[in-house]
Structure 1
Amino acid sequence: MALPSSSFSFASYFAPYFVSLLLLHLVLLSNNSAAKHNGYVGHHGHHRHRAASNASNPRLYRAYLALQAWKHVIYSDPYNFTTNWSGLSVCGYTGVYCAPALDDNKTTVIAGIDLNFADLAGFLPEELGLLTDLALLHLSNNRFCGILPMALSNLTLLYELDLSNNRFVGPFPAVILSLPSIYYLDLRFNDFEGPVPPALFRKGMDAIFLNNNRFTNTISASLAGNSASVLVFANNKFGGCLPPSIADFADTLEELLLTNTSLSGCLPQEVGFLYKLRVLDTSSNNIVGPIPYSLAGLAHLEILNLGHNMMEGIVPAGVCTLPKLTNFTFSYNYFCEEEGICQNLTEKGISYDERENCLPEKPHQRSQKECKAVIEHPVYCSEHLCHRTGTGSFGSTVPFAPAPAPWPKPLPPASSPSPSPSGIS
């Protein structure tokens, strides 16, 4: 399910992040110290170091062996990215970036590999574990398949791993949990499946993109120890409830995307504790109950998408008057009243979509029959089992109590004028 293009640019969002990496790299080199985390620049600030014209040290020779083994299992290279992958001068290979080693600035090593949009077909060989100085591995938009080799656990400096838009399969790659320096992870648009280990969210990463896979039964109620600013889970089959422990991300989280994840139950009030949040998208799920009043405290929120759920009650004025809100979608629900300025968000310059609700005297609303079925069977979130016990989680099979009467299902999603947050399209 491809979502509309975003008003947020991925590149512009992370540009300051890559500049920071470059500065960090220069500081580490000047101190000639080993890095606990990556010190190499990202793909917006690559510097080619051509000082070594041949494999003049053992590290470059090991890299040569790794890259030759990889070239051997690349079966299709329509743009000739690997044509010049021959000879010992590995720093001249297309997509390969060298730099002084962090522990010895007189020794040249391969610091990054960027093969984004190369349309390569093949798999990742075990020999990639020889690239022990690698801090950056970008393989987005290729046709790599199979599973990740466990030898990648040798890449102790790996900081950014982008495997998005490929054909990788199997369970969540456990080797990622063994990478001590990983800070940015992008696995979106692959065919990974099964549960996501809770340990992933305790690794102190900044950005985690898991969308558009086949993940199920994932995040536990305990999310302590995390520090992510971007979490994108969209277009998977997690199910269950959003746990109140989502509040553990309060000091860091800026984007939370849960689109089309089979999420059910009520939104917990704890979502309103995420005071740095700029993007919240819970659309195309089975969420019930009202909009939490706590959302009125999200002073930085720019995009709020609650569309295509089974929510009900009042659209609170506190949400409509958020100072930075630019886009508010709550279409295809069962809201029956809009408070104050919510009745005319155009006056605030807010793009909004209120179709297919139960709003009196508004066009394009549900029928009285549909609305009556919901009004006669309201959901009381305080009685929702997974929130009352604090055990709710994605993938939970705990039903909410009391069970509501059957409701009309929302209509299939229609094209919406509202932009989608970053990291999905």
Structure 2
Amino acid sequence: MSNKITLLLLTVFFSLSVFASVSKAEKEVLIKLNQATNGSKWTNKWDISLPMDKWYGVKVVDDKVVSINLKNNNLTGRIPVEITTLVNLRELNLSTNLLNGEIPLNIGNLKTLEIFDLSFNKLTGFIPASICTLPNLKVLLLDRNILSGELPQQIGKLSMLENLSLYENSFQGTLPVSFYELKSLKLLSLYTNRFTGKLSPSIGNLVLLENLNLFDNDFKGQVPVELEKLTHLKKMNISYNLFSGLVSNKLSLLDKLNMTMRNEAGNVVSLPVIKG
């Protein structure tokens, strides 16, 4: 009997030790985040003498950090790579700050991440390919940064993604073939980048799409008639691209600027509309 009690006590002690060490490790990562982003100048500062769940913008469940929301909190500097060790994170929102540098390459380590918002910063570099390995990601917001490069080829693996917003960056290249596999997508905003190439007829696969904004890019070729199949589509702006050819009256009316395009010479033209 005494052996059983001893074993039970050891198990409890070991369990508490594990939880304590996990909490300590995560606390060290948060302190690193605070130091790397000039925490003494934050609008809402942390008192690290308090428990972590009392720190501004931090949510802790079962001694695990599940959410960091430091939106509009005057963060400067770079995002520390150590943040990718917070494997229980469901939300990471560092938007509307003054962060620079690159998105951590190992961001794909955060397998439980659902919301990832780094919009309205000064980030540079590209979208890490590892981001495509986040099976639960629903929201990816990177707008208004200085990001560039092409979209990751395997972006279509983000099967849960509902909101993809990358506007006002310097992304380029064609949309990957896998892009058209994002069948959970409801909002797509890519405006004011330098995306090129033709928009595939497979755009019709995005059956839940409600808002499509490709304004001010370099897409060319025919406007896919498959857009008419998107029965949930309520808002669309694909103007100021290099699209050419005829468009249906339905699509023209749906577009915010009635299919006003640029031609190869840079002149503004309106696509001819098929009546009826």
Q: Provide the TM-score with structure 2 as the length reference.
A: 0.82
Out of 25, 29, 32, the residue aligned to residue 66 of structure 1 is 29
Q: Choose between structure 1 and 2: higher helix proportion.
A: 2
Contact 1:62–1:131 (CA<8 Å) still a contact in 2? Answer: no
Question: How far off its partner does 1:68 sit?
Answer: 1.1
1:331-350 equivalent positions in 2, closer than 5 A: 333-334=269-270
Aligned twin of 2:9: none
Aligned twin of 1:152: 107
Out of 149, 165, 181, the residue aligned to residue 194 of structure 1 is 149
The answer as to 2:109 corresponding to 1:173 is no
Work out the number of aligned pairs and report it.
253
Aligned twin of 1:386: none
Aligned twin of 2:137: 182
1:10-409 equivalent positions in 2, closer than 5 A: 57-75=20-38, 78-84=41-47, 86-87=48-49, 89-99=51-61, 107-204=62-159, 205-221=161-177, 223-227=179-183, 228-249=185-206, 251-292=207-248, 295=251, 304-309=256-261, 333-334=269-270
CA–CA separation in structure 1 for the residues paired with 2:224 and 2:163 = 23
Question: How far off its partner does 1:81 sit?
Answer: 2.4
Question: How far off its partner does 1:244 sit?
Answer: 1.1
Contact 1:61–1:88 (CA<8 Å) still a contact in 2? Answer: no
User: What RMSD, in angstroms, separates the aligned Cα atoms of the two structures?
Assistant: 2.7
CA–CA separation in structure 1 for the residues paired with 2:72 and 2:186 = 26
Aligned twin of 1:413: none
Tell me: CA distance 1:64–1:154, structure 2 relative to 1, closer, same or farther (3 Å): same
Question: How far off its partner does 1:83 sit?
Answer: 4.0
CA–CA separation in structure 1 for the residues paired with 2:220 and 2:166 = 19
Contact 2:191–2:213 (CA<8 Å) still a contact in 1? Answer: yes
What per-residue deviation string (whole Å, max 9, x for no partner) do you get for residues 392-419 of structure 1? Answer: xxxxxxxxxxxxxxxxxxxxxxxxxxxx
CA–CA separation in structure 1 for the residues paired with 2:56 and 2:64 = 15
Question: How far off its partner does 1:289 sit?
Answer: 1.9
What per-residue deviation string (whole Å, max 9, x for no partner) do you get for residues 217-243 of structure 1? Answer: 131345453221111111110122221
CA–CA separation in structure 2 for the residues paired with 1:199 and 1:179 = 11
Percent of aligned pairs with the same residue? 26
- Structure 1: where are the runs of 5+ without partners? 1-54, 100-106, 312-331, 341-425
Contact 1:62–1:130 (CA<8 Å) still a contact in 2? Answer: no
Higher relative contact order (CA 8 A, sep 6+): 1
* 2:58 alignment partner AA: V
Question: How far off its partner does 1:335 sit?
Answer: 6.2
Question: How far off its partner does 1:165 sit?
Answer: 0.7
Question: How far off its partner does 1:126 sit?
Answer: 2.0
* 1:308 alignment partner AA: T
CA–CA separation in structure 1 for the residues paired with 2:259 and 2:40 = 42
Question: How far off its partner does 1:122 sit?
Answer: 1.3
Contact 1:147–1:173 (CA<8 Å) still a contact in 2? Answer: no
* 1:111 alignment partner AA: V
Question: How far off its partner does 1:267 sit?
Answer: 0.7
What per-residue deviation string (whole Å, max 9, x for no partner) do you get for residues 266-307 of structure 1? Answer: 2121111112111110122222222235639x9xx6x63335
CA–CA separation in structure 1 for the residues paired with 2:274 and 2:220 = 23
What per-residue deviation string (whole Å, max 9, x for no partner) do you get for residues 365-400 of structure 1? Answer: xxxxxxxxxxxxxxxxxxxxxxxxxxxxxxxxxxxx
Q: Provide the TM-score with structure 1 as the length reference.
A: 0.54
Contact 1:197–1:219 (CA<8 Å) still a contact in 2? Answer: no
Tell me: CA distance 1:221–1:128, structure 2 relative to 1, closer, same or farther (3 Å): closer
